[in-house]
């Protein structure tokens, strides 16, 4: 039995670039391992929050959660009606507690109750417990306390189950710190060591991501939290020989060994609370990553957020935009924004900011991008200004280089409307002012990205109104007649003048031209000091 003081460090997630080396990669856990059974009396809650509504995202949390769901349903054979999978918008405080309560009731006396959480954490106000942060917590300390689930509260609820065993996996950050080491919500207390309560019952085992003075972060070279990925891999067979029972101690030691072998520049030591001999499942004998080769591939690399990503690529802060349906277009703007039409947009990621001069310079230096058509190299002090004087093809090349693409026009407008709200601007219907956007009459030039946070979208995108126009994928048409309704780009190039679409307005635009529904036409080889871009990527 191990009883110890624990706190998970912050999820410090770098841009996804894949594992280093063409023939070295982390195994894909999307496909289920072979059916082993044993879970017919089990119940489970799996929470994965990549797209927080107001605080920074946790890239890859949803992918890990879906892998866990697949393992429980298709490998262990837990009845699907006994599993609650909460992704992003469903993972509110109320949603998490309701799902935990229902699962605790559904688990049989000879079964196992599972709870897996992958997302942000924070210290409770009293400093004596940790919070699992709900997806709708706002950027205020009080809101985080109100919209989070206290760990002790959760464990007490799970302990009320009649299940024979209770397994808890927490991949979160109880310090309340983000990828840059700063507080995810202003006003939080500094890093603290949160003392974990003893398991509420002897049958409860808790696996958590790191010690209290450490950061819990991503796999080297992958955009997904490391700990929940490794525990899942261990269950699938990486931690034990085929047919052998996999214990909590096996999983804890395996995750610890992999992280010790592959991490550079960051210490992350998983913690185990409870009985090391508690059986979690039976090994399917699946082959895990080749640790000696992974260790060689990661040697000399620093996977923390402050390090430069591999192959010279800059860090892109991706924001998950939850899918939905919205009315695209406007009835009170020029005819080219009509007719208003309903569009269904799948969940996707968009860069938090327009691409900066510093980010684009990295692409030029790598040989994957050509320099902008003017004003290069960038003057000192303007590294965080959006890059301009780039044409459509240059924007596309950079987006591909960082693992993305240009957004479709529908995706762009949906994101600019804070995931499809019926508003005029990213922040609502209030007028565009110099406090909210870099527009005509404010400064007469571009400004550093994210300098007008009062104008951010609800998901945290900066400068979706003003600063620079932004290229999108679509060819321009002078109305929306015949436009796609599925969120995809309009690739028919028979539109007016063979133009591509730009959106968002610039530092020289009047307020009406930075409306989220406003659009303009620019020839693909066009470039000037008003046009930049930001990449998106599919989920």
* pLDDT band (50, 70, 90) for residue 422: very high
278, 298, 318 - which closes a domain:
298
Count of the separate structural domains present in the chain: 2
> Can you say whether residue 201 is alpha, beta or left, with left for phi > 0 and alpha for psi between -120 and 50 degrees?
beta
Q: At what angle do helices 357-366 and 392-401 cross, to 10 degrees?
A: 80
Question: Looking at per-residue confidence, does 52 or 400 come out higher?
Answer: 400
User: Is residue 309 assigned to a domain?
Assistant: no
**Residue carrying structure tokens 């919500």:** 185
User: Is residue 8 assigned to a domain?
Assistant: no
Q: Are residues 431 and 482 in the same domain?
A: yes
Mean pLDDT in residue range 304-327: 72
Q: Could you tell me the strand order of the sheet in which 43-48 lies? A: 83-87, 43-48, 112-118, 165-171, 204-208, 271-273
Instruction: State the CATH number of the domain containing residue 199.
Output: 3.40.50.1460
Mean pLDDT in residue range 281-305: 74
Query: What's phi and psi for 169, nearest 5 deg?
Result: -120, 120
pLDDT in tens, 266-279: 778 899 999 999 99
Question: Looking at per-residue confidence, does 407 or 376 come out higher?
Answer: 407
Mean pLDDT in residue range 385-400: 94
* pLDDT band (50, 70, 90) for residue 3: very low
Q: Are residues 358 and 280 in the same domain?
A: no
Does 324 have pLDDT greater than 90? yes
User: Is residue 24 assigned to a domain?
Assistant: no
Q: Are residues 258 and 149 in the same domain?
A: yes
Instruction: State both tokens at 400.
Output: 């591909």
Q: Are residues 350 and 451 in the same domain?
A: yes
Please tell me the predicted confidence (pLDDT) of residue 226: 93
Q: Are residues 91 and 196 in the same domain?
A: yes
Strand, helix or coil at 289? coil
Window from 9-13, 379-383, 394-398 with minimum mean pLDDT: 9-13
Q: How far apart are CA 497 and CA 65, in angstroms?
A: 46
Please tell me the predicted confidence (pLDDT) of residue 17: 33
Please tell me the predicted confidence (pLDDT) of residue 299: 64
Does 307 have pLDDT greater than 60? no
Does 8 have pLDDT greater than 60? no
Strand, helix or coil at 132? strand
pTM for this model (two decimals): 0.57
Does 522 have pLDDT greater than 70? yes
pLDDT in tens, 450-467: 999 999 999 999 999 999
Q: Are residues 264 and 360 in the same domain?
A: no
Q: Are residues 253 and 374 in the same domain?
A: no
* pLDDT band (50, 70, 90) for residue 21: very low
User: Is residue 489 assigned to a domain?
Assistant: yes
298, 315, 337 - which closes a domain:
298
Please tell me the predicted confidence (pLDDT) of residue 15: 28
Q: Are residues 217 and 112 in the same domain?
A: yes
Catalogue the E-assigned strands of 333-397.
Answer: 341-345, 348-351
Enumerate the β-bridge partners of residue 274.
2
List of residues 6+ apart from 472 with CB closer than 8 A: 406, 407, 408, 409, 411, 412, 489, 500, 501, 502, 503
Q: What are the distances in angstroms from CA 398 to CA 9, 263, 286, 299, 356?
A: 32, 28, 37, 27, 11
Q: Are residues 251 and 371 in the same domain?
A: no
The total of other beta-carbon atoms located within 10 Å of residue 486's CB is: 10
Question: Looking at per-residue confidence, does 213 or 475 come out higher?
Answer: 475
30, 70 contact by CB (below 8 A): yes
Instruction: State the CATH number of the domain containing residue 476.
Output: 3.90.1580.10
% of the chain at pLDDT higher than 70: 86
Please tell me the predicted confidence (pLDDT) of residue 274: 94
Strand, helix or coil at 107? coil
Q: Are residues 273 and 340 in the same domain?
A: no
Q: Are residues 388 and 516 in the same domain?
A: yes
% of the chain at pLDDT higher than 90: 62
Q: How far apart are CA 444 and CA 512, in angstroms?
A: 17
- Range(s) of the domain holding residue 484: 327-538
Q: Are residues 363 and 232 in the same domain?
A: no
Instruction: State both tokens at 216.
Output: 């819990």
Does 114 have pLDDT greater than 50? yes
pLDDT in tens, 330-382: 989 988 889 999 999 999 999 999 999 999 999 998 888 999 998 788 878 89
């Amino acid at each position: 039995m191990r009883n110890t003081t624990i706190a998970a460090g912050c999820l410090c997630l770098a841009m996804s670039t894949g594992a280093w080396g063409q023939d070295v990669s982390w195994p894909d856990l999307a496909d289920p391992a072979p059916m082993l059974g044993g879970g017919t009396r089990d119940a489970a809650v799996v929470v994965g929050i990549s797209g927080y509504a107001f605080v920074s995202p946790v890239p890859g949390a949803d992918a890990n959660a879906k892998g866990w769901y697949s393992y429980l349903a298709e490998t262990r054979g837990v009845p699907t009606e006994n599993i609650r999978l909460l992704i992003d918008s469903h993972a509110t405080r109320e949603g998490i507690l309701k799902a935990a309560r229902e699962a605790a009731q559904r688990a049989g006396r000879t079964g196992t109750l599972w709870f897996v959480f992958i997302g942000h954490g924070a210290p409770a106000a009293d400093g004596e417990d940790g919070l699992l942060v709900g997806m709708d917590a706002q950027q205020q300390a009080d809101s985080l306390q109100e919209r989070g689930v206290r760990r002790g509260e959760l464990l007490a609820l799970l302990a009320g189950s009649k299940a024979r065993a209770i397994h808890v996996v927490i991949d979160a950050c109880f310090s309340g710190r983000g990828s840059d080491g700063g507080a995810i919500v202003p006003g939080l207390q500094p890093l603290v060591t949160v003392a974990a309560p003893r398991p509420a019952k002897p049958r409860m085992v808790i696996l958590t991501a790191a010690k209290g003075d450490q950061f819990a972060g991503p796999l080297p070279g992958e955009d997904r939290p490391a700990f929940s990925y490794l525990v899942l891999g261990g269950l699938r067979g990486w931690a034990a020989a085929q047919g052998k029972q996999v214990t909590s101690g096996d999983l804890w030691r395996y995750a610890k060994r992999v992280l010790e072998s592959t991490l550079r520049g960051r210490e992350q030591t998983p913690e185990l609370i409870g009985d090391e001999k508690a059986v979690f499942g039976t090994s399917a004998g699946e082959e895990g990553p080749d640790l000696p080769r992974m260790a060689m591939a990661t040697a000399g690399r620093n996977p923390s957020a402050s390090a430069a990503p591999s192959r010279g690529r800059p860090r892109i802060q991706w924001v998950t935009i939850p899918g939905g349906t919205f009315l695209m277009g406007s009835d009170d703007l020029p005819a080219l924004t009509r007719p208003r039409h309903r569009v269904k947009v799948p969940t996707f990621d968009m860069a938090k900011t327009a691409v900066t001069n510093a980010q684009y310079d990295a692409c030029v230096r790598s040989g994957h991008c050509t320099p902008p058509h003017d004003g290069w190299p960038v003057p000192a002090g303007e590294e965080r200004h959006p890059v301009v004087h780039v044409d459509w093809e240059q924007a596309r090349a950079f987006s591909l280089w960082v693992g993305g693409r240009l957004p479709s026009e529908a995706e762009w407008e949906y994101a600019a409307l804070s995931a499809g709200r019926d508003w005029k601007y990213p922040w609502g219907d209030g007028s565009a002012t110099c406090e909210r956007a870099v527009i005509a009459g404010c400064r007469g030039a571009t400004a550093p990205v994210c300098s007008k946070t009062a104008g951010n979208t609800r998901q945290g995108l900066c400068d979706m109104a003003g600063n620079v126009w932004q290229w999108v994928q679509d060819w321009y048409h002078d109305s929306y007649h015949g436009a796609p309704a599925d969120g995809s780009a309009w690739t028919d190039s028979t539109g007016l003048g063979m133009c591509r679409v730009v959106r968002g307005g610039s530092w020289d635009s009047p307020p009406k031209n930075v409306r989220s529904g406003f659009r303009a036409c620019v020839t693909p080889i066009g470039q000037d000091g008003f046009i930049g871009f930001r990449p998106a990527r599919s989920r």
